Structure 1
Amino acid sequence: MADIKLFNINKTVKEYQSGTVTLEKELQTVIENNMNTFFGVTFLASEYRTTDGGRMDSIGIDENHCPVIFEYKRSMKENVINQGLFYLNWLLDHKDSFKVLVIEKLGLKAADDIDWTMPRVVCIAGDFTKYDESAIKQMNRNISLIRYKKFGDDLLMFEQINENIAAAISEDTSVSKPKSSDKTFEEQINGADKEIKVLYQNLSNYILSLGDDISETHLKLYAAFKKIRNIVTVVALKKKLVINLPIDVSTVTFEEGFSRDVTNIGHWGCGAVEVQLKNKADFEKAKALIDRAYNEN
């Protein structure tokens, strides 16, 4: 794998020498203290114990309300992927334990919002082998491989080098359901007008064309397009698409009937900038904001 080089171009060009953080407790502590900033995940617990004596390195819940397990690869020989999958399977069999943890840390409402359709494992290492990258493609689970590099004393880089997106897990009677009036995203898109279905496909194609680091997932109540974090979320209504973008609202000029600031308004999806797409013209106008969301997140 080609190494990434970082240069300071202020006056005299100087290369930062890359290295690794003392593995892995220092790195784990930095990530846990800044998990939301780095990955859009709310940190819940470190060294979380399972009933069979295992310990997950870190566990959290992401901006889509899905559980996330973090495992840190301490040596090239360590099979951190299989370890993460083992913990993920344990978690799927012990959903009540995770709900109790969320209640303790975030409260009952956050626990009621847990979405089990896309739980995932994030594996973090100084590097991965070609076998690691190939292996996750054979697994029907959501797994991300994140490589890190440290440059100098105060620069830390994360690079998503591979990701596997599995089909959403069907919910069962043991999992909290959306309110009866709330349609799942699949129900939303199936009930939309034909023109809106076409508009969604065009929107999806455009977002995915922005970079090969973007993935599309259909969650319980909306579709999410993300890199390491969400860049666009979509709710499908019968006659329009409602998209949310994680952009600084102070930098956006809002237009009545097209866009608005929903910072203090309840909404599905992620991002305080809401845009309504009713036709191709709206879609064309929204592309500049979508591009910003991609470049700024």
Structure 2
Amino acid sequence: MDGGAREIAPRLAATEACVQRLVEASMKTLLGVTFLASEYSTGPVHAGRIDSLGLDANGAPVVVEYKRGTDPGVINQGLFYLSWLMDHRSEFEHLVRDRLGATAAAQVLWSGPRLICVAGDYTRYDLHAVREHRRSIDLVRYRFFGADFIGLETLAAATGRPTQSRPVRRTGLERALRGRMADLAAAADEVLLGLGDGITKVQRKHYNAYRRLRNFASVCPPQRTKVHVYLTLDPAEIDLVPDFTRNVRGLGHHGTGDLEVRLRTEADLERARELFRASYTAA
């Protein structure tokens, strides 16, 4: 309709602090990270300040560094602070305990610390360096639109070293009972990892999480007759099907996500593909 739309040109922030304030105010929505602290001091020896500290949905410590434009030092600076954090675990756990409670502090996932860089842009050397690095690093480009809107785009992501899980020995009967569901869980794993680039699989005690910048799916260990998958979709926007999809918002469960998908057969997995992709796209 003529006159019904207008173009809003993207722009960089006036200052780095503008980006930091906006992201910190909505960190869980924008990055999938619970905000813990801003301008966190590393003490007189290291003489630095970490822009933002947080905890992601899987319990992994997160360092967030911001730059207004392009800064070739942003990754090295962030890695310096990430290294400091790994050497000061008890201090970070104390911070988590103060902000989120003792349970969250006891479940910090030290095997998967993350660095998230939010900047106006990156060099091609930055993009290459991230893919070669052993740490979990996300390079996120921002743009402001008007006075109140921000857009984030993940340009590169490194998964870091995979978390190794200890194999569990089962009896012959358990293997027989769980065999079909284990195969179904393995098939769901293949589908989720095949949705696109930049997917990280994080293994926790009670579930496997699948993450882009944020979690988009969690798969619990197979039960005797079904496999539970949790997606970060709004159940209110989904046509729920009895015994297949369920709204678990506010209900306790392992993993993250408000939409539960129950897989019992290969046919269930096929009809769940569209939901998997929708959750991946939204993340």
What TM-score, normalized to structure 2?
0.86
Q: Deviations over 1:167-203 (max 9, x none)?
A: 2457xxxxxxxxxxxxx696599x8744334323432
One-letter code of the match for 2:144?
A: K
Contact 1:40 1:62 in 2 (8 A): yes
Q: Which residue of 2 aligns with 1:94?
A: 88
- Amino acid aligned to 2:7: E
1:169–1:251 CA distance, 2 compared to 1 (3 A): closer
Quote the offset at 1:255 in angstroms. 4.4
Aligned equivalent of 1:181: none
Aligned equivalents of 1:15 and 1:253: distance in 2? 34
Instruction: Indicate the larger mover: 143-152 or 236-245.
Output: 236-245
**2:206 corresponds to which of 200, 213, 221:** 221
Counterpart position of 2:228: 242
Residue equivalent to 1:34: 26
Please give the secondary structure, in 1, of the residue aligned with 2:188: helix
Q: Percent identity?
A: 36
Which residue does 1:176 correspond to in 2? none
- Decide which of 187, 190, 201 is 1:202's aligned counterpart: 187
Residues 165, 10 of structure 1: CA spacing in aligned structure 2 closer, same or farther, 3 A cutoff? farther
Farther off after superposition, 200-209 or 128-137: 200-209
Equivalent position SS for 2:47: coil
Is the contact made by 2:182 and 2:222 (CA closer than 8 Å) also made in structure 1? Answer: no
The answer to whether the 8 A contact 2:72-2:123 is kept is no
Counterpart for residue 237 of structure 2: 251
- Taking a change above 3 Å as real, the CA distance of residues 48 and 187 of structure 1, as seen in their structure-2 partners, is farther
| Counterpart pick for 1:63 among 57, 66, 74 | 57
Contact 1:242–1:276 at 8 Å: present in 2 too?
yes
How far apart are 1:286 and its partner, in Å? 2.0
Paired letter, 2:48: G
User: Which whole-Å CA distance do the structure 1 matches of 2:152 and 2:247 have between them?
Assistant: 30
User: Which residue of 2 is the match for residue 158 of structure 1?
Assistant: 152
Letter in 1 for 2:115: V
Q: Which amino acid aligns with 1:241?
A: V
For 2:184, the aligned partner's letter is L
Does the Cα contact within 8 Å between 1:185 and 1:236 map onto a contact in 2? no
Cα 1:60–1:237 shift into 2, 3 Å: same
> 1:267 maps to what in 2?
253
Check conservation: 2:60, 2:110, Cα contact below 8 A: yes
Q: State the Cα distance separating 1:250 from its structure 2 match.
A: 2.5
**Aligned counterparts of 1:252 and 1:50: Cα–Cα separation in 2:** 45
Q: Extract structure 1 runs of 4+ deviating beyond 6 A.
A: none
Rounded to whole Å, the distance in 2 between the matches of 1:93 and 1:201 is 36
Q: In 1, distance between residues paired with 2:273 and 2:75?
A: 37
The counterpart of 2:120, out of the listed 126, 131, 135, is 126
Matching residue of 1:49: 41
Q: Residue type matched to 2:80 in 1?
A: F
After TM superposition, the structure 1 stretch with the greater mean CA deviation from structure 2, 272-281 or 247-256, is 247-256
Q: For residues 188 and 17 of structure 1, what CA distance do their matches in structure 2 show?
A: 58
**1:293 maps to amino acid:** S
Alignment CA distance shift 1:74-1:289 (3 Å): closer
* Gapped regions of structure 2 (runs ≥ 5): none
Relative to structure 1, the CA distance from residue 216 to residue 186 in structure 2 (aligned partners, 3 Å threshold; closer, same or farther) is farther
Do residues 289 (structure 1) and 275 (structure 2) align? yes
How much does 1:296 deviate?
Answer: 3.6
8 A Cα contact 2:115 2:138, kept in partner = yes
Task: Report the CA distance between 1:10 and its aligned residue.
Answer: 7.0
Match of residue 143 from structure 1 = 137
Report the AA paired with residue 165 of structure 1.
Answer: T
Q: Distance in 2 between matches of 1:296 and 1:92?
A: 31
SS of residue matched to 2:276: helix
Q: SS state of the match for residue 30, structure 1?
A: helix
CA RMSD of aligned residues (A): 2.6
